[in-house]
Structures are given as structure tokens and as C-alpha cells.
Structure 1
Amino acid sequence: MTIDDRPAGTLWTFAEEDYRYGTGPLRMHINRVLAGSPLQHDGDLWYEVEGVEVSDQGQVVGPRRATVRASRLPTIRRG
């Protein structure tokens, strides 16, 4: 799956309650949504995403894989 038609380099920010596991907001550029294996947790649908984490100062932290609440993800399309 690929992200919708938003410009390359879009920075997504997820509140602490909208991703697992971490503390504080998660900022990342999403490269891929692993839509083939959604998870059910607390009555919500969650997806694993892959991308690059960015600090609140805009510096690249590095590659990141996270589980994000589906309702907070951008629209995805098959690529």
C-alpha cells in the first residue's frame, strides 16, 4: 500500500494515544502502510506503518516502524 496523493515528504504527527508504543507525539514521514495485517485493539483497528521518524526540532531520528490507529492514517491506495 502507498500513501494517498499528498506531496512526498509530508510529515505526519500522531498523538501518544494514537500509536503504540512510545511517549509523546510521534512525527514521521510514512513510506508504507502494512495494510495486509490489521490489528484489533480496544475496539479500534490499527495498522503497522514504516517510515522515518523526525524529532520535534526537525532532525531525522531514523527508520521507524509503528502501529497507528487506522482512523488517524491518511487514505491509502494500492500501489
Structure 2
Amino acid sequence: MTIDDRPAGTIWTFAEEDYRYGIGPLRLRIEKILAGAPVQQDGDLWYEVEGVEVSDQGRVVGPRRATVRASRLPSVRPR
């Protein structure tokens, strides 16, 4: 799958209420959306994503897996 038409390395910022579980905004360079296993929670659809977390200063924090509200994810299409 490809993540819309943005350049590789795009950093996505998710508000605290749009991902599970953490405190404060999550800045993530998404590498993979695990679209095969969506979760229905709180009346919304959520997907597991994998990527690299980046601090607000641009420093790489490390690999991160999170559950993100589907409506906040970039569009995804098969390759």
C-alpha cells in the first residue's frame, strides 16, 4: 500500500485523542498501516500503524506502533 502522494519521510502529527495510548501529540513518520485488522472503538474505526516517532524538535525517538483513528490517517491505496 502507498500512503497518499506525500513525499517519503512526511511526519504526521496526531492529537492525543486521535491515537491510543500516550500523552500529548504524537509525531510519526508512518511506514505501514495495518489495514487488515481495524478495530471498532468509541464509535470510530481505528487502525494499527507502524513508524518512527519524532520529537517536536525533529529528533528521532525510535520505532513506534500505535492505534490511530481512521479518519485522521492519510488515504491508503494498493500499489
Q: What range describes the TM-score normalised by the shorter chain of this pair? A: over 0.9
Which amino acid is the alignment partner of residue 17 of structure 2? E
Q: 1:71 Cα deviation (Å)?
A: 0.2
Once the two structures are superposed, the pairs formed by residues 1-79 of structure 1 within 5 Å of their partners are 1-79=1-79
Task: Give the aligned CA root-mean-square deviation in angstroms.
Answer: 0.7
Structure 1 stretches of at least 4 aligned residues deviating more than 4 Å after TM superposition:
none
Instruction: Point out where structure 2 has 5 or more consecutive residues left out of the alignment.
Output: none
> What TM-score, normalized to structure 2?
0.96
Q: 1:4 Cα deviation (Å)?
A: 1.3
2:4 and 2:33 map into 1 onto residues whose CA distance is 11
State the aligned residue count: 79
Q: 1:2 Cα deviation (Å)?
A: 2.8
Instruction: Point out where structure 1 has 5 or more consecutive residues left out of the alignment.
Output: none
The answer to whether the 8 A contact 1:2-1:31 is kept is no
> What TM-score, normalized to structure 1?
0.96
